[in-house]
Amino acid sequence: MKNHRTGIAALAALALAGCTATSNQPAPGSAAEALRPYYASLAGDLPQANPGPAIDRSRAISRIGFGSCNHQHRHQTIWPVIADHNPELFLMIGDNVYGDYDYRGEADLRTFEQAYGLQASHPEFIAFRERVPMLASWDDHDFGPNDSGGTFAFREHSEDLFESFWRSSAEVRGRPGIYDSVTIGPDGQLIQIIMLDTRFFRDPLTSLPYSYDRRPLGYYGTVDDPGATLLGAAQWAWLAEELAEPADLRLIVSSIQVLTDAHNWEKWGNMPHERQRLYEALALRNGGGMVILSGDRHSGGLYHGEPEALGESVWELTSSSLNFSFASGDTGEREPDPLRRSGFFSDENFGMVEIDWASGEVALTLNGSDGNSLHSERIRFR
């Protein structure tokens, strides 16, 4: 199968380069267009997670869990721990599998397909799916290679794999990218969850020049081009429409961190024009409180800022990783950050958003893999 798939992909590339025999058919205009017939031949048997319960959008919910960075080859013991916290919804916000593990640039993305297949087989994950409704967005490792964005040549097939595995809605499947939004609950207890896609449309980042003396906190600078995009025109237009809908509380889900500038890894601050645009869009929302959720960092923490373009204070809870920690304990000393209101916990972790509709307060909690709180903050949202 490997040789068959690689051969077809090679033919597609040759067709794009004009190296095959001419015909009356117009030449494909891009590598993606040239590969579509090939990917269509692979689409019949893509991995799927087991079905889960549907979200009851008419009923108020008050307990939402989330997490990121789940490696399919590692233990899955955190799932029953999360289940014990009785989430009514769980958000997978990126690096939900590591499809780029052992990836060598093959067009068929077979390592991504294998990653999804393995994740679908884990009993703990299956049991969690059977119990808890889930929504998902992606980050780089389940989208493409490390730190990849809109120039990834095989992103359309990556999208097919993602949407098949997570059983995405017809609305999500019907447009490029995997951004999504759901609104749940009755008037007065209406929560809107916006799942952004920070990968499919993102323009290239700017790399910092090598420096022996620079601290090891990443290697991306700022993109000064005001025309560079993180979300893409279609997603920006969609976001404005979603924010025009009424809500009492909104969860803005981004795979990469939004508020912080304390590091040079991937973050919204790499494209300051886009981050300002995000703040301005959020400032124009049709009412309701707001919390930002993020992942990616293989550490978790709670942040608070007052961006001028937003015109109000906002909290961001970062949760990472579910089963792929790089260290343990509070590692905040290596990344001083005036916006962080907690330690920077490298232990395996998950986040909980617990809403008290009566008081208009929400508890934002980062929990360790044992289920105990690493940090919690109770804030007002109205």
Average pLDDT rounded to a whole number, residues 351-380: 98
| pLDDT for residue 131 | 98
Q: Does the pLDDT of residue 103 top 70, yes or no?
A: yes
Q: Which structural domain, as residue segments, surrounds residue 132?
A: 46-380
Same domain, 149 and 77: yes
Confidence class for position 2, pLDDT limits 50, 70, 90? very low
C-alpha span between 26 and 78 (Å, rounded): 52
| Burial of 136 (C-beta count, 10 Å sphere; 0-12/13-18/19+) | buried
Q: 189 and 221: one domain?
A: yes
For residue 13, the number of C-alpha atoms closer than 13 Å in the C-beta half-sphere is 11
Do residues 140 and 95 touch, judged by C-beta distance below 8 A? Answer: yes
| SS3 call for 194 | strand
Q: Please tell me the distance from the alpha carbon of residue 354 to that of residue 305, in angstroms, as a whole number.
A: 21
Percentage of the chain beyond pLDDT 70 is 92
Checking if the pLDDT of 1 tops 60, the result is no
CA dihedral (20, 22, 25, 28) positive or negative: positive
Strand, coil or helix: 172? helix
User: How confident is the model at residue 25, as a pLDDT?
Assistant: 59
**pLDDT grade for 28, boundaries at 50, 70 and 90:** low
pLDDT at 26: 62
pLDDT at 36 over 70: yes
Question: Between the CA of residue 287 and those of 62, 65, 316, what are the distances in Å?
Answer: 19, 23, 18
Mean pLDDT of 45-59: 96
92 membership: H or E segment, kind and range: strand 89-92
Task: Check whether residue 37 and residue 131 sit in a common domain.
Answer: no
| CB within 8 Å of 94: residues ≥ 6 apart | 68, 69, 137, 138, 139, 140, 141, 142, 255, 256, 295, 296
Secondary structure string (H, E, C) spanning 56-83: CCCCCCCEEEEECCCCCCCCCCHHHHHH
Q: Which of 359, 315, 309, 316 is nearest to 62 (CA)?
A: 359
Q: Nearest CA to 142 among 203, 65, 76, 199?
A: 199
Residue of 328 and 16 predicted with greater confidence: 328
Average pLDDT, the chain: 92
With a cut of 70, say whether residue 257 has pLDDT above it.
yes
What stretches of 196-294 adopt beta strand conformation (E)? 249-253, 289-294
In this structure, the answer to whether residues 20 and 50 fall within a common structural domain is no
pLDDT for 10? 47
13 and 60 together in one domain = no
Q: With 50 as the cut, is the pLDDT of residue 3 above it?
A: no
Residue 6 has pLDDT above 60, yes or no: no
How much is the pLDDT for 172? 98
Tokens (6 digits) for 82? 């999360």
The CATH code of the domain that includes 57 is 3.60.21.70
The Cβ-side half-sphere exposure at 140, using a 13 Å CA radius, reads: 16
| Number of domains the chain is built from | 2
pLDDT (0 to 100) of residue 213: 74
Element (H, E) at 256: none
Assess whether 363 and 311 both reside in one domain.
yes
Same domain, 33 and 74: no
Q: What is the pLDDT of residue 263?
A: 96
pLDDT at 338 over 50: yes
Pairing relationship of beta strands 314-318 and 301-305 according to DSSP bridges: antiparallel
Domain match, 31 and 58 both: no
Please give the backbone phi and psi of residue 376, each rounded to the nearest 5 degrees, phi first: -145, 145
- pLDDT digit string (tens) for 73-89? 999 999 999 999 999 99
Please tell me the predicted confidence (pLDDT) of residue 32. Answer: 81
For residues 321 and 356, membership in a common domain is answered with: yes
SS3 of 4, please?
Answer: helix
Closest residue by Cα to residue 135 from 255, 245, 45: 255
pLDDT at 24: 59
Closest CA to 382 of 352, 354, 360, 351: 360
pLDDT at 14 over 50: no
- Does one domain contain both 62 and 165? yes
Whether residue 200 contacts residue 176, with contact meaning beta carbons closer than 8 Å, is answered with yes
CA distance 74 to 309: 41
Given a cut of 80, whether residue 8 has pLDDT beyond it is: no
Q: What is the pLDDT of residues 113-168, one digit of tens each?
A: 999 999 999 999 999 999 999 999 999 999 999 999 999 999 999 999 999 999 99
Confidence of residue 42 (pLDDT cuts 50, 70, 90): confident
Give the mean model confidence (pLDDT) for residues 166-194: 98
**Shared domain check, 207 and 354:** yes
Is residue 281's pLDDT more than 90? yes
Residue 55: predicted pLDDT: 96
Same domain, 229 and 304: yes
- pLDDT (0 to 100) of residue 56: 96
pLDDT in tens, 198-254: 999 999 999 998 877 766 799 999 999 999 999 999 999 999 999 999 999 999 999
